[in-house]
Amino acid sequence: MAYNQNNPVTVAVFFSLSCLALLSTSTFLCKNSTDCQSLLKFKQGITGDPDGHLQDWNETMFFCNWTGITCHQQLKNRVIAIELINMRLEGVISPYISNLSHLTTLSLQGNSLYGGIPATIGELSELTFINMSGNKLGGNIPASIQGCWSLETIDLDYNNLTGSIPAVLGQMTNLTYLCLSENSLTGAIPSFLSNLTKLTDLELQVNYFTGRIPEELGALTKLEILYLHINFLEGSIPASISNCTALRHITLIENRLTGTIPFELGSKLHNLQRLYFQENQLSGKIPVTLSNLSQLTLLDLSLNQLEGEVLLKTALRACLFAGSLPASIGSLSKDLYYLNLRNNKLTGDLPAEIGNLSGLVTLDLCDNLISGTIPSSLGNLSQLRYLYLSHNHLTGKIPIQLTQCSLLMLLDLSFNNLQGSLPTEIGHFSNLALSLNLSNNNLQGELPASIGNLASVLAIDLSANKFFGVIPSSIGRCISMEYLNLSHNMLEGTIPESLKQIIDLGYLDLAFNNLTGNVPIWIGDSQKIKNLNLSYNRLTGEVPNSGRSAGAETAILMSSPTHRGTQTLTEREIEIATGGFDEANLLGEGSFGRVYKAIINDGKTVVAVKVLQEECVQGYRSFKRECQILSEIRHRNLVRMIGSTWNSGFKAIVLEYIGNGNLEQHLYPGGSDEGGSELKLRERMGIAIDVANGLEYLHEGCPVQVVHCDLKPQNVLLDNDMVAHVADFGIGKLISGDKPRGHVTTTTAFLRGSVGYIPPEYGQGINVSTRGDVYSFGVMIHLTEARSIFGRGSGALHKLEQCCIHMLDAGMMCTEENPQKRPLISSVAQRLKNVWKEMGFGTLYMAKEENVDTSLNLR
C-alpha cells in the first residue's frame, strides 16, 4: 500500500514509530555512554529533590539535554559541566563522578549535600572550576584533589569541613581563587600557600585557624582579597603583606593579633579600599602612612589599644583614637559622605574646617570628650541628613546656621552642656523625619511655636533641660510623631488639646514639670499610647480608663525610638504567645524560617515572631551581638526589631507587627499576575518613596551600615495608612554570622536575594553592596509602575503619565548593569520626592488626609 501523507491514521502511526525510534536511540546512547551511566549513579546518591529538578535525568531523554548538564559536541558529546545551583538537593556526591573525565566545571553550591568530598574527585584532571559551597559536607579536604592540577577556582565555604589545609594545595599553582571560609578547619595557615602566585582571592575566614599569619604570604603579588577574620590567629601582622601591592580588601577582624600596624601598609598598598583590623589586641601608634591610602573607602580599627593622631582620608568607623580632630580635616575629599568616629577619646574643639566637607551625609561624633561650641560652619553641609554629637562636652548655643541643613532627617545633640534657647528657626527642619533629641542639656526659654513645622518627625526629646512657659499648641501639627518626651523641665499651663491630633503617639512623658489643669479625656480614648508619665505635676483628676492607655506602664522598649537594646524572651514565652505555634497564627514562610503573629505583655502587644530554621544559622557566633545592633535601628519605614531568643536549638527574633499585608499581595491579589489592587498612583509613589527612605537610613544613616540583600515586594509591609515598612533587613547577618561592614559574601555559594531581584554582579562573585539593594529597588519600581493601566477621560492623564515616566526612568538608573553607574539610594529618594512635589500630591506623610485628586487607578 502506498504511503498517504494525508491519511491521519498513517500520520499517527508514523509519529508513534518516530517517537519509539528516538526513545530507543536515547536509551541506546545512554547504555553505551560512560558519562550517562555516571550521571545516573550521581542521581542515585540524591535522596531529596523537592522541586523535581532531576526529573528529566532518565533514559527517555538524551543526557546532554538533562537539567544542569553541558556536553561538548566536538568531544563526541562528553560531559564538560555539571551546574546544579541552589536546587535544594539532598544526598551524597557519588564517587562515580570521577568517570566524567572531560569535566571542567562542577557547580553544586547552595544545596544540602552531606557526607564527604569523594576521594575519586582527584581523577578529574581537566577540572578548572569547583564550587560546593553552601552545603553540609563534612570530613577532610581529600589530598587526592592534587590530581585536579588544572583547577583555577576552589570554593568550599559554608560547609562543615574539618582538619587542616592539605599540603597538596600548595602544588596547585593554577589557582586564582581559594575560598574555604565558614567551616571548622583547624591548624595553622600554611606557608606553602605562597606557592600559589596566581592567586587573586584568598578567603579563610570564620574557621578555627591558629598560629601566626605566614610572612610568606607576601609572595602573592597578584592577591586582591585577603579575608582571615574570625579565627584564633596570634602574633603580629607581617609587614611582608605590603608586598601584595594589588590588595584591595584586607580583613583580620576578631582574632588575637598583637603588636603594631606595619607602616609599610600605607606606603605600598595604594589600591587598598577596605581595611578591617577591629577586635584584636593591636597597640602602638596608628601609622601616619595610612593617610597615603587615597583609594580607601572603609577603615575599621576599633576595639584595639591604638593611639595617635586621627587619620582621615575617607569614611571611618569607631576606633580607639585619642587627641583632637585636626584642622586638615577640611582638606579631605568633597566626596566623603560618611564620617563615624563615635565612642573614642577625641578631645578639643570641633574644627570649623569640618564645614568644608560638602558631600557629608552622615556625621557621627557621639560618645567622645569633644568640648567647645558647635561650629556655625556645619550649616554649609547642604547634603547632611544625620548629625550625631551626643554625649560630649559641647557648650554654647545651638547655632542658627545649623538650620540651613535643610535635608537633615535626624539631629542628636543630647547629653552635652548646651545653653541658650531653642532657635525659632528650628521649624526650618521640614525634612526632619526621624528624631530631634536635645535632651540632657542646659537649654532654656520658651518652646517656639515653629516646632509645629516638624510635621514629619518621628520622635522629639527635649527632656532634662530648663525650658519654661507653656507647651505650644502648634505641637499638634507634628502629626507623624510617635514619641514625645518633655519631662524634667519647668513647663507650665495645661496639656494642649492639639496633642490628640497626633494619632500615632505611643510614648508621652511630661513628668517633672509644673503643668496644671485636668488630665485630658482624649488620653483615655487614645488607642496608641502605651507609655504615659504625667507624674510630678499639678494636674487634677485621674487618667481616664476608657482606652488602652489604662495599662500603659510597660513596654518602653517597644515604643521608644531612642531606647537601646532588645527584650529577651524565652522559647516557652514565644510558644505561649503564638498559641503553640498554631497554624492559624502563621503569617508567612520563607527560606530562613516561619513568621507567626504573637501576643505578649499579658495580651497588650501584638508582634510578629520569626522563628529561624536551626540548620540555616551557619557560622553562628555573633547572633546576640547582631540582634543588639539591629534593635538600635529605628526608622518610620523600617520594621522594628523588638527582641530575640537565642536558646540552644531555638533562635527567633521578635518584630513589630504590621497588619495590612505586603506589597506583593496588593499588587497581585490572590496570587494573580493579571491584576493589581486598586492602588492609586499617589499610593504607589508614596510606597516607593517610603522604601527609598528606609533603604537610605540603612545605607547612610545607621551607625552600622546595613545591606538588605533581599529587597522585594514580599518584604515591603503596609500599614493601615498604606505607609510602607521594609522588613527582613539584616536577616542575612543573623543567618551567616559576622562579615565586614557592607560585605556578606564574595561567592555565589549562598546568594543573598530572590530570583529576579538579584543584581547581575552577585552571580559573578562581586561583593554584596548597597548598590545591589539599589538594583533590587529599581526592579521593584518597574514591577509596580510598568503594570499601570490608565483610566479614561481624566484631564490629569498627561501629567500622571509623565509621573510614571519619571518613575520608570528612576528604575532604569537603578538597574544599570554596572553597579558603579547606579545612584546612591539617597539621590533616588530625593528625585522621587521632587516628582511627588511636581505632581502636587501634598506634604509627604500627610497626603492621605488631603483631598488630592488622584483617582486614576493603576494596575
Asked if residue 196 lies in contact with residue 177, where contact means CB atoms within 8 angstroms, the answer is: no
Assign 668 a pLDDT band (cuts: 50, 70, 90): confident
Higher pLDDT: 639 or 619? It is 639
Residue with cell 595557615: 189
**Residue 673 above 50 pLDDT?**
no
The amino acid at residue 583 is E
Nearest-angstrom CA–CA distance, 749 and 191: 27
Nearest by Cα to 97 from 116, 110, 112: 116
- Strand 586-590 with 593-600, pairing: antiparallel
End-to-end Cα distance, the chain: 61
User: Mean pLDDT, the chain, as a whole number?
Assistant: 80
Nearest-angstrom CA–CA distance, 219 and 243: 7
Which residues 6+ apart lie within 8 Å of 409 measured at CB? 385, 386, 431, 432, 433, 434, 697, 701
Assign 646 a pLDDT band (cuts: 50, 70, 90): low
- Strand 567-568 with 641-647, pairing: parallel
The per-residue pLDDT for 137 is 96
Nearest by Cα to 704 from 633, 627, 790, 610: 633
Nearest-angstrom CA–CA distance, 318 and 210: 27
Nearest-angstrom CA–CA distance, 21 and 34: 22
User: Looking at 49, 155, 201, 710, which residue is catalytic?
Assistant: 710
Distances (CA, A) of 20 to 7, 30, 165, 677: 20, 15, 52, 50
Q: How many CA atoms lie within 13 A of 95 on its CB side?
A: 7
Which residues 6+ apart lie within 8 Å of 163 measured at CB? 139, 140, 141, 185, 186, 187
Nearest-angstrom CA–CA distance, 599 and 297: 44
Tell me whether residue 56 is one of the annotated catalytic residues. no
Nearest-angstrom CA–CA distance, 295 and 434: 32
The per-residue pLDDT for 752 is 56
Nearest-angstrom CA–CA distance, 293 and 310: 14
Architecture of domain 564-657: 2-Layer Sandwich (3.30)
Residue 339's beta-bridge partner residues?
Answer: 363
The per-residue pLDDT for 787 is 47
Higher pLDDT: 262 or 567? It is 262
pLDDT digits (tens, 9 = 90+) for 276-303: 888 899 988 878 787 677 777 677 777 7
- Helical H segments across 32-100, by residue range: 34-44
User: Helix %, strand %, coil % for the chain, to 5?
Assistant: 30, 20, 50
Least trusted range by pLDDT, from 47-51, 381-385, 539-543, 773-777 = 539-543
- Ranges 76-85, 427-436, 599-608, most confident: 76-85
Asked if residue 243 lies in contact with residue 267, where contact means CB atoms within 8 angstroms, the answer is: no
Mean pLDDT value across residues 715-724: 90
Rounded to the nearest 10°, the torsion over CA 295, 296, 297, 303 is 180
- Strand 362-364 with 386-388, pairing: parallel
Higher pLDDT: 656 or 521? It is 656
Asked if residue 320 lies in contact with residue 342, where contact means CB atoms within 8 angstroms, the answer is: no
Tell me if domain 564-657 and domain 661-859 are identical in fold: no
Task: List the domain boundaries for the chain.
Answer: 564-657, 661-859
The per-residue pLDDT for 798 is 56
The per-residue pLDDT for 382 is 87
Helix (H, G, I), strand (E, B) or coil at 105: strand
**Residue 809 above 60 pLDDT?**
yes
**Residue 842 above 80 pLDDT?**
no
Assign 521 a pLDDT band (cuts: 50, 70, 90): confident
User: Is residue 610 a known part of a binding site?
Assistant: yes
The per-residue pLDDT for 678 is 60
- Strand 605-612 with 201-203, pairing: unpaired
Nearest-angstrom CA–CA distance, 209 and 234: 10
**Residue 557 above 60 pLDDT?**
no
The per-residue pLDDT for 625 is 62
Interior angle at CA 517, CA 515 and CA 521, nearest 5: 110
Output the DSSP codes for 726-745. Answer: E--TTHHHHHH---STT---
Percent residues over pLDDT 90 in the chain: 37
Nearest by Cα to 102 from 85, 119, 126: 126
The per-residue pLDDT for 35 is 93
Mean pLDDT value across residues 776-803: 61
Mean pLDDT value across residues 242-247: 96
Residue 769 phi/psi, 5-degree rounding, is -150, 170
Assign 426 a pLDDT band (cuts: 50, 70, 90): confident
Least trusted range by pLDDT, from 90-99, 589-598, 699-708, 742-751 = 742-751
The per-residue pLDDT for 284 is 86
Three-class DSSP labels, 233-266: EEECCCHHHHHCCCCCEEECCCCEECCCCCCHHH
Diameter of the chain by CA atoms? 113
pLDDT digits (tens, 9 = 90+) for 111-150: 999 999 999 999 999 999 999 999 999 999 999 999 999 9
Assign 455 a pLDDT band (cuts: 50, 70, 90): confident
CATH 1.10.510.10, domain 661-859, yes or no: yes
Least trusted range by pLDDT, from 27-36, 101-110, 173-182, 610-619 = 610-619
pLDDT digits (tens, 9 = 90+) for 818-831: 888 888 898 899 88
Beta strands in 399-450 (DSSP E): 410-412, 435-437, 444-446
Task: Output the nine-digit C-alpha cell for 125.
Answer: 584532571
The amino acid at residue 409 is M
The pTM of this model reads: 0.51
